[in-house]
Amino acid sequence: MELCTILRPECTTCATPGSKKKVLELISDLVAAQYPTLSSQEIFESLVAREKMGSTGIGNGIAIPHGRLADIDQPIAILIKCEEPIAFDAIDKQPVDILFALLVPADQCQQHLSTLSCMAEKLSDKQILKQLRKTHDETVLYQVITG
């Protein structure tokens, strides 16, 4: 799957959210701004519900928060580079500075797992991570992750 089919440049940003809750709110607001039929509260609740099952901080400064929404028919991705790393309850107890969030249709479980796996693999590439962490430009951030 081509990442550019689910990640819009407008959903790629550099930010200083400050906390796990604030970054989940930022994700929700970014998506709601691009998809007006979706409620930022509904998105936030979906992400929080998943985090309650266990942190999506996968280690090495990376988190992949995700959730399911009944009102969408295509996955939606969001990429955030935190200018200051945030505590995220990651499995390695390290703060997180790269977040790739994914919202998927409630009835597409297999695609959800496949997309998460693909993203985790991409983010395990040391060269990609180095480029993501080095840039402060959202256009470059988008180009690196979709390239």
66 is catalytic: yes
b/e map 86-104, b = 16+ CB within 10 Å? bebebeeeeebbbbbbbbb
The sign of the dihedral angle between the CA atoms of 126, 127, 132, 135 is positive
101: nearest Cα among 32, 91, 18: 32
Among residues 11, 64, 65, 66, the one annotated as catalytic is 66
* Angle between helix 138-146 and helix 126-134 axes, rounded to 10 deg: 170
End-to-end Cα separation, the chain, in angstroms: 13
Q: What count of other Cβ atoms lies within 10 Å of the Cβ of residue 53? A: 7
Q: Which residues are known catalytic residues?
A: 66
